[in-house]
């Protein structure tokens, strides 16, 4: 891929793009050659950037990356036709693909040209707490405040959880459903620590057992609750709420919003909504070029049979 990395870095800095759009993040999740970007200008004004991973004719959002795809520079946009023209340009400019799936950033809600281009759109919700400050305990639901106070009496905060231990905890919790490797997790967390925009927070009980742990990253606007662990045998201690409290308390001076990385799972969604949060919609855009997709799957099966 021919990319002007320095130009892209300058765009990220000048327009304060979310952390998941940065070169450092993309290199850690997709690899140096595993991502690309498009830009759309009108009258020398940058209207939008579209960043994506591309491999084996598949355009996608990398693992452990909540959002990517089109991102509009609102300060440079004067009318909706600017957004329309940008999306239409991106659709024409994407490399040839057999499968397409991008998750757009919350409140990047203009996607109609994708519909005209026979893409599919699905809406999802994430919950965001908008005031990471000392009022957190006062503002959240009583049930969450009770859980946090319970944990404060009986458990301790730790920031000494290694990547290896964290991954082992996740394997114990999710088993075969864990969708990413240790190497990928190590790459992301190491890069985040080196860049000063990520941290693992944990809660331990009196027996020094880790009962909850979260890995978060942040940029200049949001903290993102990227990965969460809860001890399935000790999930009633209040530790899962406590770790959120500790993250917000630690980062409150940065004046950031806390993105819970919302779940469509009933119990999880309900829990996030009790933290005095607001719901924000984000869109997932998909498309399969059916004939080529079916042919690729057929060839994969033939290859697998030959290897048996």
Q: What is the DSSP letter of 104?
A: P
pLDDT for the residue numbered 32? 95
pLDDT tens track for 30-65: 999 999 999 999 999 999 999 999 999 999 999 999
Report pLDDT for 217: 98
pLDDT at 163: 98
Instruction: With a cut of 60, say whether residue 258 has pLDDT above it.
Output: yes
Q: What backbone phi and psi angles, to 5 degrees, belong to 68?
A: -160, -155
pLDDT of residue 307: 64
What is the overall mean pLDDT for the chain?
93
Q: What is the pLDDT of residue 148?
A: 96
- Reported as a single tens digit per residue, the pLDDT across 56-65 is 999 999 999 9
Query: How much is the pLDDT for 265?
Result: 78
Residue 266: predicted pLDDT = 82
Which residue(s) pair with 204 in the sheet?
Answer: 156, 210
The pLDDT of 270-283, averaged and rounded, is 93
The pLDDT tens digits for 199-241 are 999 999 999 999 999 999 999 999 999 999 999 999 899 999 9
Q: What is the per-residue pLDDT across 70-109, written as a single tens digit (0 to 9) for each?
A: 999 999 999 999 999 999 999 999 999 999 999 999 989 9
pLDDT at res. 295: 79
Specify the pLDDT at position 75: 96
DSSP string, 238-295: SHHHHHHHHHHHHHGGG--EEE-----SHHHHHHHHTTT-EEEEEEEEEEE-HHHHHH
How far from 104 is each of 21, 60, 73, 111, CA to CA, in Å? 11, 11, 14, 9
308: pLDDT strictly greater than 60: no
pLDDT, tens only, 125-159: 999 999 767 788 889 999 999 999 999 999 999 99
C-beta of residue 106 within 8 angstroms of C-beta of residue 66: no
pLDDT one-digit tens code per residue, 150-202: 999 999 999 999 999 999 999 999 998 999 999 999 999 999 999 999 999 99
* pLDDT at residue number 299: 81
Q: What is the pLDDT of residue 246?
A: 95
Chain position carrying tokens 């829990």: 271
> For position 51, what pLDDT does the model report?
98
Q: Which pLDDT belongs to residue 2?
A: 73
Ordered structural domains, the chain, with CATH: 5-124+282-307 (3.40.630), 131-276 (3.40.630.30)
User: Tokens standing for 76?
Assistant: 């440079």
Q: What percent of the chain has pLDDT over 90?
A: 83
pLDDT of res. 303? 75
User: What b/e readout covers 227-256, taking b as 16+ CB neighbours within 10 angstroms?
Assistant: bbbbbeebeebbbbbbbbbbbbebbeeeeb
Distance CA 215, CA 30 (A): 19
Q: Is the pLDDT of residue 306 over 80?
A: no
Q: Using N-to-C axis directions, what is the helix angle for 5-14 and 23-30, rounded to 10°? A: 120
Residue 294 has pLDDT above 90, yes or no: no
pLDDT at position 248: 92
């Amino acid at each position: 891929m021919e990319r002007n990395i320095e130009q892209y870095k300058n765009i990220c800095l000048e327009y304060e793009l979310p952390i998941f759009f940065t070169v450092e993040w993309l290199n850690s999740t997709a690899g140096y050659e595993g991502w690309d970007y498009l830009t759309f200008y009108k009258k020398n004004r940058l209207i939008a950037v579209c960043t994506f991973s591309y491999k084996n004719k598949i355009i996608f959002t990398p693992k452990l990356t909540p959002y990517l795809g089109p991102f509009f520079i609102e300060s440079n946009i004067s009318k909706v036709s600017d957004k329309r023209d940008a999306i239409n340009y991106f659709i024409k400019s994407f490399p040839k693909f057999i499968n397409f799936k991008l998750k757009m950033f919350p409140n990047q809600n203009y996607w109609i040209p994708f519909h005209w281009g026979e893409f599919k759109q699905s809406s999802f919700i994430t919950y965001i707490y908008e005031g990471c400050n000392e009022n957190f305990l006062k503002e959240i639901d009583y049930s969450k405040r009770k859980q946090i106070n319970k944990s404060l009496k009986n458990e301790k905060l730790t920031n000494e959880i290694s990547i290896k231990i964290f991954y082992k905890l996740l394997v114990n919790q999710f088993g075969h459903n864990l969708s990413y490797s240790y190497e990928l997790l190590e790459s992301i967390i190491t890069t985040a620590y080196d860049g000063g925009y990520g941290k693992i927070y944990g809660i331990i009980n009196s027996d020094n057992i880790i009962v909850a742990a979260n890995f978060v990253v942040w940029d200049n606007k949001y903290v993102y609750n990227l990965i969460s662990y809860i001890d399935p045998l000790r999930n009633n201690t209040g530790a899962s709420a406590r770790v959120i409290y500790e993250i917000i308390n630690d980062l409150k001076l940065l004046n950031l919003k806390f993105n819970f990385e919302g779940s469509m799972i009933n119990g999880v969604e309900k829990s996030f909504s009790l933290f005095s949060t607001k719901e924000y919609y984000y869109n997932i855009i998909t498309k399969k070029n059916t004939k080529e997709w079916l042919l690729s799957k057929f060839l994969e099966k033939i290859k697998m049979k030959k290897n048996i």
